[in-house]
Structure 1
Amino acid sequence: MDHEKVNILLVDDQPAKLLAYEVILKDLGENLVIASSGREALEVLLKTEIAVILVDVCMPELDGFELAAMIREHPRFQKTAMIFISAIQVSDIDRLRGYEMGAVDYVPVPVVPEVLRAKIKVFAELYRKTRELERLNQELEDRVRARTAELENSTAKLRESEQRRSMAIAAGKMGSWDWDWISGDWMWDEGQYRIFGVSPESFEVNPANVQALLHPDDVDQLRKAIAEFNRGTRAYETEFRIMRPDGEVRWCVGTAAATVDDSGRVVRVSGVTVDITERKRAEERQNLLAREVDHRAKNALALAQSIVRLTRADEVKAYVNAVEGRINALARVHTILSLSSWQGAELSRLIDEELAPYSLGGQIILAGPEVQLLPATAQTLALALHELFTNSAKYGALSTRSGRLTIGWQVEDQLLTLNWEESGGPLVMTPKSRGFGTRSLLASVESQLGGQAKFDWRAEGLLCRLEVPLTRKTAAAPASGEFEDAGSAELQRASG
């Protein structure tokens, strides 16, 4: 059998003896290293890994005993096998001294080749086995360290997973269960009890009691799962609702896996329940928001369509300006409502937005409390204010530097009263007929908001009074294609 060669150090001051040792030991098939003195032997030892040292006791300068003592002082060579060769009669005292110096055996002269080879072979093989054992031991230690690291890593991941599971259970979001298919015994953990809103002390886990907590519309899911497992299904997942004893309905997703025996029969079903109520509610809110956005977009388009259809003008430029002004007013109130998530708009903010394009400085005085308007009320009132501002800028107090405008409002018994008072502008005359802006203002306030709009064409300036109920459920702007059935029909009749 092939094996790794080891180094055998031969130390003697006589070349003839060294040659004889080489001839005797050649058949061992090991590496023979020669040293002709003790000092040379020490140099070899420091550079080479030696398995066995064959050393002559009688050498000049440094004899075998002294060399052995120096070798044993070095930690690296404390266990290296040394065999002494002695050409003189060896007494028991000499042997004892040799053993004290670290010798493992003695070979007397004349040397018997078979004996020397046998002794060297034993210690060479022992060295080789020792080194092999050390390598195996090192490999084992490396594997143990690697396995330990894997176990530590696996344990850390398991601990982290368990911590996450414990956090989920503590938050009431997840629970686990186990069902012995043969005996019918159930096991729930703390999270499972918490999700179902029951306690281990007062609730017995069995199919009948569990079914009683399921939403009636989802009971079939349990029956279907049982049937699937009986047909050989190994895993099943479904969403279902539970009705807690306190009446609260919770959405859950359940995952179950079956354990089978050697014959393929189901013996156990284990699973996890996750409370997804918050996710379901978020989905519902998202769907509701999408429908609301769609509804708002249709309403805005319907209002814009009404504006385009009902605006009248003698020339194209005037028509474009009128349409743009009314759509811009609608866009401004839309922005205000969007910032409030369509919860409503403040009256003062609507007026400020309509004032912004004019930059009139101190010509306008505002006075009134904070009033929150519903979205539909805000949209209609914004268009009405736009008509008033537009008419005033063209023909009334805001058409001159000397003109003044006072807007005051108050709320009493959920009725908003807004007074528009102009002064200092051009001389005002009662119009022979009402223009589209006035007629649409009257129609929108009265039909859409259920209020009243009163005009007093005084010579010193227009006085307008708007009365708008704040609690009345005003009609939302109609969807596209339906505006003929809502306030837009009133606007059409007013413009006719």
Structure 2
Amino acid sequence: MDHEKVNILLVDDQPAKLLAYEVILKELGENLVIASSGREALEVLLKTEIAVILVDVCMPELDGFELAAMIREHPRFQKTAMIFISAIQVSDLDRLRGYEMGAVDYVPVPVVPEVLRAKIKVFAELYRKTRELERLNHELEDRVRARTAELENSTAKLRESEQRRSMAIAAGKMGSWDWDWISGDWMWDEGQYRIFGVSPDSFAVNPANVQALLHPDDVEQLRKAIAEFNKGTRAYETEFRILRPDGEVRWCVGTAAATVDDSGRVVRVSGVTVDITERKRAEERQNLLAREVDHRAKNALALAQSIVRLTRADEVKAYVSAVEGRINALARVHTILSLSSWQGAELSRLIDEELAPYSLGGQIVLAGPEVQLMPTTAQTLALALHELFTNSAKYGALSTRSGRLAIGWQVEDQRLTLNWEETGGPLVMPPKSRGFGTRSLLASVESQLGGQAQFDWRAEGLLCRLEVPLTRKTAATVPGKFDPASASELQRASG
């Protein structure tokens, strides 16, 4: 039995994914309506009866949660079925948030075609049966509305305008306006006043006052936009900045459409303003992050290159082992720093990471407060601790079960002091010459961090004292920056 097709709205900012959903759902034989953004989806909803909305959670400008909240604000869409598609791991809290926003189901990515079709089909059939029942229950009202089509059309336009205004106010980032081209009268809704940071009680909407709130660099392009309407343009969209009375600069995107009379003359211009400041700031943060990642990658490669170039060993196997150990130490501290978004690393965490490869039972005692290290300090200390642990495991207290190691640290006047004390291990003899590890430790702590490293080769075990400044001025001018001078120092130390 043939049935009336229903409209299924597909919302996603990626054309490839929209095409994939169309292919999967084509077998249902329904009308597939496409929207590439949340704003476009809202425009479709205002004009088209939609049975089911399939929306991507992660979209720019308006994400799935925000779009769902705006849709549910209006009584007309409170029962419209919405299914979220998420390409990320969705937590229980995210699911709860989605259901609170009005979602009826979640579909994870990758999408299983059969599952997606089944879910959509259920809600499409439910919508269809509901509509059929409504048509039976309201047959008389439908006949009356058919006889008064002109009045209904006028009422629908008014309702559509009011719906758009209600959604703009609910979102808090949208506003609508209307300009009588003939009389020059303006009308702003509450959202428009909010975006511009003015009050309807004290702000008179006229060309002069509005222009005073525009960024000087964007005034000319808006003048050109107005001139385009006189040349026959019927719609226009542009991004611009506003200067609120409190001095804050906000980014907006404005969309305007002209209404003409029978002779083609413009009689009214209406539009919507969207505050996109957060999106612009997110783009700036993303660009900054990309530059920072590139910067840190170059620094890490430079440091790894120095380790490879300066490591010395009599045999290839020993050389490979030494390089791998130092690179792994560098990788571990990078993992810790990345988890904190490169804000820093806890000293105790660095020590725990270096302890991880060893099974030492109760041979090691740690004592000290929580100390947050800047990225450069963390990188250098991680390599220094690696050298100390490696040497102790090979020749010192950690090479025997009877050996003991005490690591203590304290902070005073923005200066970290770390004491490394070994006891109970093999008899210690002062080295005739310092190996690369010891020399590189000295060079990096003293040259790169401006600290001091002292060694006391006592017979009962090594005593090492590291002093490192923690202030930004002396410890790291640019977080994460590798100092080429320290590489030169390491070269001299190994030579």
Give the TM-score of the pair, scaled to structure 2: 0.67
Cα contact 1:443–1:494 (8 A) shared by 2: yes
Give CA-to-partner distance per residue, 1:62-94, whole Å, 9 cap, x none: 999999999999999999999999999999999
Cα contact 1:22–1:32 (8 A) shared by 2: yes
* Aligned positions, number: 493
Shift, 1:180, TM fit: 2.2
Cα distance change, pair 442–50 in 1 and its aligned pair in 2 (3 A): closer
Shift, 1:423, TM fit: 1.0
Q: Which moved more, 1:46-55 or 1:365-374?
A: 46-55
Give CA-to-partner distance per residue, 1:403-453, whole Å, 9 cap, x none: 111100000111000000111111112212111101110111112111111
Cα distance change, pair 144–327 in 1 and its aligned pair in 2 (3 A): same
Q: Distance in 2 between matches of 1:359 and 1:163?
A: 67
Q: Distance in 2 between matches of 1:129 and 1:162?
A: 29
Cα distance change, pair 274–14 in 1 and its aligned pair in 2 (3 A): closer
Cα contact 1:448–1:474 (8 A) shared by 2: no
Q: Which moved more, 1:365-374 or 1:163-172?
A: 163-172
Partner of 1:268: 268
List gaps (5 residues or longer) in structure 1. none
Give CA-to-partner distance per residue, 1:75-117, whole Å, 9 cap, x none: 9999999999999999999999999999999999999999999
Shift, 1:482, TM fit: 10
Shift, 1:27, TM fit: 58
Q: Distance in 1 between matches of 2:249 and 2:91?
A: 102
Q: Which moved more, 1:139-148 or 1:421-430?
A: 139-148
Give CA-to-partner distance per residue, 1:376-420, whole Å, 9 cap, x none: 111111001001111111111111111111100000111000000
Give CA-to-partner distance per residue, 1:176-195, whole Å, 9 cap, x none: 11222233222211111111
Cα contact 2:449–2:476 (8 A) shared by 1: no
Cα contact 1:483–1:489 (8 A) shared by 2: no
Cα contact 2:81–2:103 (8 A) shared by 1: yes
Q: Which moved more, 1:19-28 or 1:369-378?
A: 19-28
Cα contact 1:175–1:273 (8 A) shared by 2: yes
Cα contact 1:377–1:474 (8 A) shared by 2: no
Give CA-to-partner distance per residue, 1:40-63, whole Å, 9 cap, x none: 999999999999999999999999
Shift, 1:260, TM fit: 2.6
Cα contact 2:196–2:213 (8 A) shared by 1: yes
Cα contact 2:449–2:468 (8 A) shared by 1: yes
Give CA-to-partner distance per residue, 1:248-275, whole Å, 9 cap, x none: 1111100011223344332322111011
Shift, 1:460, TM fit: 1.1
Q: Which moved more, 1:45-54 or 1:328-337?
A: 45-54
Q: Which moved more, 1:415-424 or 1:141-150?
A: 141-150
Cα distance change, pair 8–366 in 1 and its aligned pair in 2 (3 A): closer
Cα contact 2:397–2:425 (8 A) shared by 1: yes
Over the matched positions of the two proteins, sequence identity in percent amounts to 95
Q: Which moved more, 1:176-185 or 1:114-123?
A: 114-123
Q: Distance in 2 between matches of 1:151 and 1:343?
A: 63
Q: Which moved more, 1:432-441 or 1:131-140?
A: 131-140
Equivalent position SS for 2:474: coil
Shift, 1:208, TM fit: 1.7
Cα distance change, pair 178–463 in 1 and its aligned pair in 2 (3 A): same
Partner of 2:413: 413
Q: Distance in 1 between matches of 2:108 and 2:454?
A: 142
Q: Which moved more, 1:481-490 or 1:78-87?
A: 78-87
List gaps (5 residues or longer) in structure 2. none
Structure of greater Rg: 1
Shift, 1:168, TM fit: 2.9
Cα distance change, pair 374–96 in 1 and its aligned pair in 2 (3 A): closer
Cα contact 2:13–2:59 (8 A) shared by 1: yes
Shift, 1:154, TM fit: 12
Partner of 2:342: 342
Q: Distance in 2 between matches of 1:226 and 1:405?
A: 78
Q: Which moved more, 1:67-76 or 1:294-303?
A: 67-76
Cα distance change, pair 159–447 in 1 and its aligned pair in 2 (3 A): farther
Q: Distance in 1 between matches of 2:171 and 2:95?
A: 81
Cα distance change, pair 466–156 in 1 and its aligned pair in 2 (3 A): farther
Cα distance change, pair 335–236 in 1 and its aligned pair in 2 (3 A): same
Cα contact 2:187–2:205 (8 A) shared by 1: yes
Q: Distance in 2 between matches of 1:92 and 1:460?
A: 56
Cα distance change, pair 298–157 in 1 and its aligned pair in 2 (3 A): farther
